[in-house]
Amino acid sequence: MTLAVDSLFRALANPIRLRCLLLLHNAGELCVCELTHALGASQPKISRHLAQLREADIVSDRRMGLWVYYRLHPQLPGWAQEILRATANSVGDQAPFITSQQALATMPNRPGADRCA
């Protein structure tokens, strides 16, 4: 996989995409509905940003029934993983990142239940 440096930094420059990436870094894999809940944004807005991340090969997705799950691309280069790791370690305990993490932790009806919130 070849990821252009500017593609990663362009993705990180947008607050919604940055928060999505940090949540995925911490959780491993999340459903669109989990990201929507954690970020307090509409599903179309989150899906549009996830599509941009997928097109840049920063995340990958999989369908399971009605849900689409996202995760960091398994072939993400080590340098890109290190940037995400360092960013998560540096700002993960600050707003708005900690707020997103807390919202995700307290989300009712997370996937695995009969339906997503």
Beta pairing partners, 61? 70
Residue 44 lies in a domain: yes
Residue 48 lies in a domain: yes
Supply the CATH number for residue 76's domain: 1.10.10.10
Residue 114 lies in a domain: no
Total number of domains in the chain: 1
Residue 110 lies in a domain: no
Tell me, what amino acid is at 83? I
- 31: domain range? 5-105
Residue 15 lies in a domain: yes
Largest Cα–Cα distance of the chain, in whole Å? 41
Residue 51 lies in a domain: yes
Residue 117 lies in a domain: no
What are the average pLDDT values for consecutive 10-residue runs of the chain, which has 117 residues?
A: 90 96 96 95 96 96 90 96 96 93 91 53
pLDDT at 111: 77
Residue 116 lies in a domain: no
Q: Which residue, chain included where needed, has tokens 């090969």? A: 57
Whole-angstrom distance, CA of residue 12 vs CA of residue 5: 11
Q: Which residue, chain included where needed, has tokens 């370690």? A: 89
Taking the model in full, what pTM does it have?
Answer: 0.90
